[in-house]
Chain A
Amino acid sequence: MIRSVTAILIKDFVSELRGKEMLLSMLVFSLMVAVIFNFSFPPGSEFIQEAAPGIIWMTFIFAGLLGMNRSFVYEVDKGCLQGIMLAPIDRAVIYISKLIVNFVFILLVELIALPLFVVFFKLDILGSPGYLLLVVLVSTLGFAVIGTLFSAIAVNTRTREVMLPILHFPVAIPIIICAVQATAAVFQGQEWAVVWGWTKIIVAFDVILFIVAFLTFEYVIEE
C-alpha cells in the first residue's frame, strides 16, 4: 500500500510541478483576496481585526475548492483514473494519495498566503503561532478529507466546477465555523483552553469524516 501511495504521490507532485495548474490557481486567488481586502478597509481599522478570521478562511476554502476540483479533472481527461483503477491496488490507496496531495498543496498555499494576511491586516499572532498552525493544520485536513471524496464525485458530473462547492459546503460548515472561531481566539490572544475547545471539535469531525470517506470512496469511483 505504501509503495502504491508513494507512486501516486510522486506522479502527482511531478505533474503539478510541471503544470502548476492547481498551485497557481489557488495561490493567485488567495493573493488577490488578500490585496483586495487590504484596500477595502482604512488603515488601522478595528473592524478588519474582527473580520480577518472569516476573510482568511473564506479565502482558503475557495482556493482549496479550486485546487481540489483540478485534482481529479486531470485524472479523467485521458482516462488515467481508469488506468490506476486497473492496477491491483485497493481503491483506498487512490483516496489516501489524493487526500495527501490535496492537503499538502492547500497547506502550501495557506503557508504562503497567511503571512500576507497577517501583515496586511496587522494581526498579532506572535504570542501563539503554534496555536494558529494547529488550527490551520486540522481545519485544512478536514476540508481535504471531504473535498477529496466530493471531487471524485463531482468530476464525473457535467457541472463539476459547480458541483464540488454545492456538495462540500453543507458538510464542511461545522469545520468552517470552528476554524473561524478558533482563529479568532488566537488573534484575540485568548488562552489555550478556548482555542482547544474549538479545535477538538474540528479533530472529531476530521476523524468521523475520514472514516466515512475512506469507506465510501470505492463505491464513489466504481459507478
Chain B
Amino acid sequence: MEQICKQPTVAEPASGVVQAEPDSVIQVSGLTKAFGHHHALRQISFEVRRGEFLTIFGPNGAGKTTLIRILSTMTPPSGGDVSIDGFSLADDANKIRNRLGVIAHQTYLYETLTAAENLRFYGRLYDLPDLNNRIEKLLAEVGLRARQNDLVRTFSRGMQQRLSIARALLHDPSLLLLDEPYTGLDQHASEMLSGWLARLRDNARTILMVTHDLERGLDLADRVAILVKGKIVFSKASSDIDKSKFQKTYYEFVEQNTRHT
C-alpha cells in the first residue's frame, strides 16, 4: 500500500508540522477554510521547495481551487499559517502577489482588448519597467507576436491559454500556481501547454498545479499529493511512484477517504 498520511506535509509528511527549510517557497501549516458549516480545507500542512513542481490531484469538491485561491491571496483563510517566499499571507499580501503568477482554466483576459493591450494593462498594474519590450519578448515566446494587435475574442482557446501564460509570466514570478490549466483544451493545445510547463519547470521556477488530469500532472511533477475532502491524504516524490499503477492508487485513496468522512 502507498503511503497514507493522516496529517501530512508534502516535504515532511509524517509529523504534520512544517519544518522550516531555507529553500522552501510555500509553507502551509494547519490551513483551514470554512464556508459556513462547510469545511473546504481541514488543517492541511505542506511545503514546496524552490524549483519544485508539486501536483495536487483531487476529485471535484476536494478543495483544490480553494487552496489556490488562498495561496494566491484572493480568499482569506479561516485558520492556519501560510507564507510564500518568507512573506506571511496575512501581513504581506502585496509582496506575495509580486512573486506569484496564476494560470487557471479561466484566462483572465479581456476579449475586447488586443493581446498586447491585455499584457500592457496587467503590466501597468504591476508597475513594470520597460513594459513594451517585455510584452514583445513574451508574445514572441508564446508564438503570438504576429497576432499582438488582434482582439483576444478572435483567438482560439489554445491561443488564449498561451496568452494567459504570457500574462502570468509578465512580472517574472518565482512561483506559478496552476488551477486546472488543461480544462477546455484540445489534445494538441494540451500537449503544447505541457511543453510550456515543462520548460518553465526546467527553468527552475517553483510550480504548484492542481488538476484532475492524472497522466499530465504526474508526468510534469517532482512530487504529487492527493487532496480529498479538504485533507491531503497522500504525498510522494513522483520518482517513487509506479506511474502505471498510479491511477488505481488515486482511486483507492479517493474512495477510501470519501467513504470515511
Contacts and interface: CB of A to CB of B under 8 A. Distances in A.
A42 interface: no
* Interface class of chain A by DSSP: helix
Interface in A45-91: 74, 78-80, 82-90
B76 A7 contact: no
Interface in A202-223: 222-223
B225 to A, nearest CB: 23
Given A4-B124, A78-B108, A83-B109, 4 more contacts: A18-B151, A82-B104, A83-B108, A83-B167
A86 B127 CA distance: 13
Contacts of B94: 88-90
Given A14-B113, A78-B111, A86 B72 contact: yes
A80 B121 CA distance: 11
Interface stretch (B11-19, B95-103, B209-217, B228-236): B95-103
B126 A80 contact: no
B110 A4 contact: no
Interface of B: 72-76, 94-95, 97-98, 100-102, 104, 106-113, 117, 121-122, 124-127, 151, 167
Interface of A: 3-4, 6-8, 10-11, 14-15, 18-19, 74, 78-80, 82-90, 222-223
A14 B125 CA distance: 16
Contact of B75 (A15, A83, A223): A223
A85 B74 contact: yes
A85 B76 CA distance: 13
27 contacts: A3-B124, A7-B124, A8-B121, A8-B125, A10-B121, A11-B110, A11-B113, A74-B112, A78-B111, A79-B104, A80-B109, A80-B110, A82-B74, A82-B102, A82-B104, A82-B106, A83-B109, A84-B125, A86-B73, A86-B74, A87-B97, A88-B95, A88-B97, A88-B98, A89-B94, A90-B94, A222-B74
B75 A222 contact: yes
A8 B97 CA distance: 18
A175 B67 CA distance: 42
A90 B125 CA distance: 11
B60 to A, nearest CB: 18
Contacts of B102: 82, 86
A7 B75 contact: no
Given A18-B112, A78-B106, A87 B126 contact: yes
